Structure 1
Amino acid sequence: MDTFSDALLRLARGFLGGAIEQYSVFQQQVDPGRTRLDHRAGRVWIGEREFADSGEIGTFAEDLTFQWAWAKPALAGMSGVAASVRLREIGLREAIPEFTTDLLDLAGFPDPMLAADHLSIIAMGVLGARGMTKFNYGGRAYAYLVVEDEQVPCATPDPGAVAGVVRAAAAMLPGGGARSVVEGYARRHHATVRASADGLEVSLPQGFRLIARVDSADRLVAADIVDAGLAAVPATLPEPRHERIPPFVPDTLLAALAAPAAITIGGRGSLRGSADATSLWWEPMYAAEDLVEVPDRRVAVAEIGRYDSEHRIWTWVHRDGSGATTLRALAREHGAAHLAADRVDLSGTAHPNNVVTVLVAGAADLGGNLGWAAVPDDAGWRYFAVTDHEVRAPGADPAVAALVIDTAANLLHPLTDQQSRYATMRAMILGWFRRHDVAALTFGEPQLLLGHFGLYELRVEFDAGGGIIGTRTGMIGELMF
């Protein structure tokens, strides 16, 4: 699908204004923080705050599909999917295919992630929920949650903000439908609405009025607020957002480690002179202290560190050639002394395994090595840099590049946010291109980056939030059509 159905668009327009207004109140009321969900209890935690009567409505996956929570057999009957079930019931009653199809393919939309966001805002409005949030649960996948706990206040019309809310709601979906947007907003607040010569007027509390001008195609031309004396009410500036939570891996350090993570993430190489160029795989492998066993060969390694997966503690190991010393120095330069300490406590991070992998991959590359090995032990894992001089990396081609970039994007995405995501992904892609002498074209950014491999090219496409939607390969020029 490349657009929402007419049935969904008709239904959504009546709820969008109220949903956007309520979502703004939710953001102002709830500080960002680590998000957790208990499906059985129907509870959501955002930072230190707990919300009852809340749960999952659906998930967006790396393959650009959206799956409703009601369609997941493992969650059947749980309180945390009750809102999703209600949404399906509304879909059946109103003949909304998006609400009754278990898995929606959003790949045809110009920005599939944005389509998932819009679908969730629509769901929040239709459900009359108090808030909506999403959290990354691995790779580039997101879970969308609705909060229905009454501790979050219901939005009331703010004269300085109403016009902006209505304009945003009218612009969110394609086509006309401006009258439905205005009438739906009025209905949410039990406000009187009447037709005017060129649109609609809505009576708001304390004598304020919303004046909406609508053209013959049912598109919103203008929306303004006037007071009882017909004087224009200036728009109020939005409330300042809460301070950003400092990332565990600082932005500049993550950008510096992004390319090394991609360069060493393949976990594959070959032995010089070997007849089978793809026979050497070193992650994960069982190893002795200084060697990784591969078929008919022992490959030299140097230990980088150890990860206690139960207690989420990373411990650096001092070994020459591993790159650990260089990475720890780099961490200090970027203001991340906590990552340079002998022991790094990852218990408070949402994605500790991703942090470990980035540290390991970065250390291996900074040490001048082609890859790293992961070896299980009683407490968790031991990590090694592959230091053997007889090991060489495989060549680069568009298919390999696409696989590596998609894999590295899944690794890095959970460690980024709106402020750091594009810069990190860009550094990863261009760094990998430079290492493999791939000509890079950046004229399409921030929507896309191109890499040229002779007659072929790799196209990396981004969403509005800076995340990688996906990669495509083909003859130069053919991907533009």
Structure 2
Amino acid sequence: MHNSLTFTDLLDDAALLSLEHQVHLEEVLGGHSWQVDLQQPRFDFACVTRTITCTAFHLLGSAAPGPGTWLWAWANPSGFPEAVVAASARLRDFGLQYGIQELASAEVPFSALPGAPTEAHLAAGLLTEAAKAVTGRWTSYNGDAGGGTRAAFLVEHPDFRLPPPEPARVMRVIQQALAGLRLTDHRRALHSYAVKRGLGADFSGEQGRITGPGFEAVVEFDGYGRVAGIKAGLSAPHGG
């Protein structure tokens, strides 16, 4: 990471891998309720057939619709345990190091975020995405904290880890991201996903090439650096 790193860069870096983790989380949880005790600390998901107790969780902050601001957990006057807010403090330090005010400021107006969201869950989602790119923890949960306020967490459990990459799933993630996510730099977002997912990534020329077990995808970019088309196909495994 370099000194010209921006908040928008972090969003692109996180976008696709975060999407895949959130889809996987939905598959694991199904219908559920959740409960958190910040003092104990403990975070549980009560699913249809079992309860999943997170092996670790991290409170990032909360988005309140009244003032229209996000408050980082490290700056919350409620005085949460250090273990619960340590990740948010790390993000503050990272923001100070790279001059990213969205991470360094205790309180962030919704209007200062990309797209100027007006809804709390959307604002919380943006800060959470950036947090993932910095912390390397990819599964999040955005819950109702009462009064319209949304609390954002990073949650950890072995069942939340992704399975090995598989051709159809990888292409589905790419297509869903291109159709539904706000990506600023398509090349950066796709390259970041491929590298972080353990796939082959060659974006040195005008095209981008992503390779993995049994598949290859060639990405064409237009004059604005946006994806103009993708040609994907199955390939024979090495040694097959």
Aligned pair partner of 1:214 in 198, 204, 221: 221
Relative to structure 1, the CA distance from residue 154 to residue 82 in structure 2 (aligned partners, 3 Å threshold; closer, same or farther) is farther
Relative to structure 1, the CA distance from residue 86 to residue 182 in structure 2 (aligned partners, 3 Å threshold; closer, same or farther) is same
Task: Tell me, yes or no, if structure 1 residue 152 matches structure 2 residue 160.
Answer: yes
Cα distance in 2 for partners of 1:125, 1:155 equals 20
Q: How does 1:414-429 map to 2 (within 5 A)?
A: none
Task: Tell me, yes or no, if structure 1 residue 104 matches structure 2 residue 108.
Answer: yes
Cα distance in 2 for partners of 1:155, 1:16 equals 18
Cα distance in 2 for partners of 1:30, 1:125 equals 23
Q: How does 1:355-366 map to 2 (within 5 A)?
A: none
Does the 8 Å contact 2:63/2:123 carry over to 1?
no
Shift, 1:197, TM fit? 6.4
Does the 8 Å contact 1:29/1:152 carry over to 2?
yes
Shift, 1:105, TM fit? 0.9
Aligned pair partner of 1:60 in 63, 66, 85: 63
Shift, 1:168, TM fit? 4.2
Cα distance in 1 for partners of 2:65, 2:15 equals 27
Shift, 1:6, TM fit? 7.4
Task: Tell me, yes or no, if structure 1 residue 84 matches structure 2 residue 88.
Answer: yes
Q: SS of the residue aligned with 1:37?
A: strand
Q: SS of the residue aligned with 2:235?
A: coil
Which structure exhibits the higher relative contact order, with contacts defined as CA atoms closer than 8 Å and separated by 6 or more residues? 2
Cα distance in 2 for partners of 1:132, 1:100 equals 20
Match of 1:93 in 2: 97
Match of 1:257 in 2: none
Question: Residue type of the partner of 1:53?
Answer: A
Match of 1:227 in 2: 234
Match of 2:45 in 1: 46
Relative to structure 1, the CA distance from residue 159 to residue 111 in structure 2 (aligned partners, 3 Å threshold; closer, same or farther) is farther
How many residues are matched?
223
Q: SS of the residue aligned with 1:60?
A: strand
Aligned pair partner of 2:142 in 129, 134, 138: 134
Q: SS of the residue aligned with 1:34?
A: strand
Match of 1:178 in 2: 186
Does the 8 Å contact 1:130/1:146 carry over to 2?
yes
Cα distance in 2 for partners of 1:129, 1:25 equals 14
Q: How does 1:2-401 map to 2 (within 5 A)?
A: 7-47=6-46, 48-63=51-66, 64-107=68-111, 109-113=116-120, 114-170=122-178, 172-173=181-182, 175=184, 177-195=185-203, 198-205=206-213, 207-228=214-235
Structure 2 residue runs of 5 or longer lacking an equivalent are none
Cα distance in 1 for partners of 2:72, 2:231 equals 37
Q: SS of the residue aligned with 1:225?
A: strand
Q: SS of the residue aligned with 1:122?
A: helix
Residue deviations 1:145-197 (CA, integer Å, cap 9, x gap): 1102334223432311323323444563353x111111101211232222486
Shift, 1:83, TM fit? 2.3
Does the 8 Å contact 1:42/1:78 carry over to 2?
no
TM-score (norm 2): 0.80
Question: Residue type of the partner of 2:161?
Answer: P
Q: SS of the residue aligned with 2:32?
A: coil
Relative to structure 1, the CA distance from residue 87 to residue 156 in structure 2 (aligned partners, 3 Å threshold; closer, same or farther) is farther
TM-score (norm 1): 0.42
Q: SS of the residue aligned with 1:217?
A: coil
Question: Residue type of the partner of 1:79?
Answer: A
Structure 1 residue runs of 5 or longer lacking an equivalent are 230-481
Percent pairwise identity:
23
Q: CA RMSD in A?
A: 2.6
Question: Residue type of the partner of 1:101?
Answer: S
